[in-house]
Structure 1
Amino acid sequence: MSTDDLMTRALASLGEIDGPMSVEVIHRLADTGDLSEPMTIAEVAALLDVSAHTLRYYERAGLVHVDRDSSGHRSYRPEAVRRLVFLTRMRLSGMAIRDLQHYISLVDGGDQTVPERLDMLLEHRDTIRRQIRELTLSLAATEYKIATYGGTTGDTG
């Protein structure tokens, strides 16, 4: 499943929601329950629609621990894949690698770091909300220009 597939699934799930997004919806979006066997780097790259180079970089940056099989090839356990789903979502939303490294170090530091993790995610949420407002304004400007040139505006896809 590629990033586009994951995003399509996520957006479809969001369309089913009446009212505020619940934690249950978020769990469904992040569900990797069907992953029980270790995956190769090629399989994970295809699943997340990232390059193998990106996965190796995340490993070198200390963001994810990857086991090796008896032949020395990378073997991604379900926990590593779940972490990579989170990491790729955060990168897509603009979180810097250094911030992800700090966040992962906090996760690895145990439950006593939950308040600091929460603060980081609250701050990042504010950043994402600002980006959404900015993109909404940019979309409105684009729609205006399309209408100016005689094109059709609104959702066509």
Structure 2
Amino acid sequence: MTISEVSKKYELSQDTLRYYERIGLIPPVNRNKSGIRDYTEEDCRWVEFIKCMRASGLPIEVLIEYVALFQKGDETIEARKDILVEQHKVLVEKMEEIKKTIERLDYKITIYEDSIVEKEKDLKKLED
């Protein structure tokens, strides 16, 4: 696939894809005879993985470390797992914070809704 096709498929700009490759977030992409990037299915899996991890808030530095370890081979499996476990913990904590915020918003919304209902009742009484 060309960079244009990958860009459209994963809704990432071509500049972002080049940047991810340049900083080592995705392994170097092979090029065709004309020097144009030719993304393989494996390259696309990396793009998809990085996009997912970035969307969940993982820092670029952590992902660079993860990819570098991956490229070193199986002797880094434990280190890679440790990175993912740590990031999982961070995401669970964020999720709990978001859950608490949602609960607070629900509470505040209920108060406003109750207030609106009471005002409507008061207005109806005045009209009667």
Structure 2 counterpart SS, 1:122: helix
Whole-Å Cα distance in 2 between the matches of residues 121 and 90 of structure 1? 10
TM-score, normalised via structure 1 length:
0.67
4+ runs deviating over 4 angstroms = none
Instruction: Name the one with the larger helix percent.
Output: 2
Q: Where does the alignment leave 5 or more consecutive residues of structure 2 unmatched?
A: 115-128
Whole-Å Cα distance in 2 between the matches of residues 41 and 49 of structure 1? 11
Instruction: Within 5 Å, give how 1:1-157 maps onto structure 2.
Output: 39-64=1-26, 65-150=28-113
Whole-Å Cα distance in 2 between the matches of residues 72 and 123 of structure 1? 39
Whole-Å Cα distance in 1 between the matches of residues 31 and 71 of structure 2? 20
Q: What is the RMSD of the two structures over their aligned residues, measured on CA atoms?
A: 1.5
Letter paired with 1:131: K
Segment of structure 1 superposing worse, 65-74 or 123-132: 65-74
Computing the radius of gyration from Cα coordinates, the structure with the larger value is: 2
What percentage of aligned pairs have identical amino acids?
Answer: 39
TM-score, normalised via structure 2 length:
0.81
Letter paired with 1:55: L
In the alignment of these two chains, the number of paired residues is: 113
Whole-Å Cα distance in 2 between the matches of residues 50 and 138 of structure 1? 30
Q: Where does the alignment leave 5 or more consecutive residues of structure 1 unmatched?
A: 1-38, 152-157
Whole-Å Cα distance in 2 between the matches of residues 145 and 44 of structure 1? 43
Return the offset for 1:43.
1.5
Whole-Å Cα distance in 1 between the matches of residues 111 and 13 of structure 2? 40
Whole-Å Cα distance in 1 between the matches of residues 99 and 81 of structure 2? 27
